[in-house]
Amino acid sequence: MDLVINKIGLNGVIDIPSDKSISHRSIMFGAIAEGKTTIRNFLRGDDCLSTLKAFQDLGVKIEDDGEVITVHGNGFSGLKPAKQAIYVGNSGTTIRLIMGILAGTSFTTELFGDHSIAKRPMNRVMLPINQMGAVCTGHDGTEFPPLTVKGTEKLSPIHYQMPVASAQVKSAILFAALQAHGESVIVEKEKTRDHTEDMIRQFGGDISVSGKEIRISGPQKLVGQEVVVPGDISSAAFFLTAGLIIPDSKIILKNVGLNPTRTGIIDVIQQMGGKLLVQESGSEANKAGTLTVETSDLKGIEISGEIIPRLIDELPIIALLATQAEGTTIIRDAEELKVKETNRIDAVATELNKMGAKIEPTDDGLIIHGKTPLNGANVTSYGDHRIGMMLQIAALLVESGKVELDKAEAISVSYPRFFDDLTKLY
């Protein structure tokens, strides 16, 4: 599709779509809890709907009246064998987290997804889950989907030093540990988003976190709750960037989730000299707020180390932000970008360079030279929603030529109304 180009002066207010990570987990926790869970402000994007459908396939009654989703959970033991292989679509969160839940069942489940999922490594989850007593196997003996998970009701606890900084891996182990007999200890490489830990507590579970060490004993029973999903800062990131780099712009973003393990992009914007006002609201356990950004003069910085897990999904749009900053921005320690929906290191460099950026991919990140003008080009999302949205924001800077985006439909994975919200700001 042809993207909108050269829109000077983006102004207005946007209600950010619901948080993708919390939406996934709200269905999962409702399914394994006992009693009724109601979910408000659920993200009805393709990925989260894949999670909803997966648990319906596992025998969980889930109702959706268009406003509120109601999950009728019967505990872990209430899960039933699926009648056929479960399709997870493009959702890495679905397939990785559900492996931990299935690990403690008494049956075998097959999981498969689209062509992107078939290329995503699963050993990072399979290895610890298998150590606990389940049997997870990949396609033809590899670590890639389709997967088979043979559960066991006699899961053993685990002491696991995580080799990668991944909230998905951590969450899968936590779901398994809730069903294991004894205390499990997980030590993170770097602290990652902690929605799973928060929701274990919200649903009545017991978990202890001290720095990077997590302790959890099982088996535990969870109780159904009411969940109100805040806005997704990963979705907000695209309009934060637009407001900073498009001339004569001021954008107000409402109901943005401000969990401290997710707000690395706010720190980066402030370090780069961006004009950003944060007005917090919500409870301690469910922080949210209003973010206001204005066109700014930005400077290049280095982004590395422990902040990376706090902004891993925002790095593609941060790379675009850096193309409009004076000086060089260096992103390090982000090798996890290689195993997302696509290799985001290569995808960002390739597609933005087509448009005139000066970006060098490295083994673990990017070197971005700014400030560079952008021009029209034929680009692709590679089927990756975040690459697609990043390229549309980039197109707003183009003054000549046109930008044609292949595989624009991928954007519906996390932000179905993205183009409608953009139009509101013209």
- Are residue 109 and residue 216 in the same domain, yes or no? yes
The length of the chain in residues reads 426
The span from the CA of 76 to the CA of 82, in Å, is: 14
Q: What is the pLDDT of residue 400?
A: 87
In this structure, are 156 and 257 located in the same domain?
no
Position of tokens 């017991």? 206
Share of the chain above pLDDT 90, in %: 93
Would residue 3 count as lying in a domain? no
Mean pLDDT of 195-213: 97
- Has 340 been labeled as part of a binding site? yes
Contact between 148 and 160 under an 8 Å Cβ cutoff? The reply is no
Q: What is the pTM of this model?
A: 0.88
Check whether residue 303 and residue 374 sit in a common domain. yes
61 is in an annotated binding site: no
- The torsion defined by the Cα of 147, 152, 153 and 155, in degrees rounded to 10, comes to -100
Cis-peptide into 371, omega within 30 deg? yes
Domain shared by 188 and 73, yes or no: yes
Question: Which positions are annotated as active-site residues?
Answer: 313
122 and 162 inside one domain: yes
**Residue 1 lies inside a defined structural domain of this protein:** no
Please state the rounded mean pLDDT for residues 298-313. Answer: 96
User: Is residue 234 marked as binding?
Assistant: no
- CATH number of the domain bearing residue 166: 3.65.10.10
- pLDDT reported for residue 273: 98
Q: pLDDT tens digits, residue range 354-381?
A: 999 999 999 999 999 999 999 999 999 9
Please name the residue that has the structure tokens 């907000």. Answer: 236
**pLDDT one-digit tens code per residue, 220-265:** 999 999 999 999 999 999 999 999 999 999 999 998 999 999 999 9
Token pair for 189: 């490489």
Are residues 280 and 291 both part of a single domain? yes
Same domain, 260 and 165: no
Q: Are residues 241 and 221 in the same domain?
A: no
Q: Which helix (H) or strand (E) holds 193?
A: none
Q: Is 20 annotated as a binding residue?
A: yes
For residue 391, is pLDDT > 90? Answer: yes
Residue 5, in any domain of the structure = no
Examine residue 89 and state whether it is found in any structural domain, yes or no: yes
Residue 6 within any structural domain of the chain: no
Looking at 170, 200, 228, the residue that finishes a domain is 228
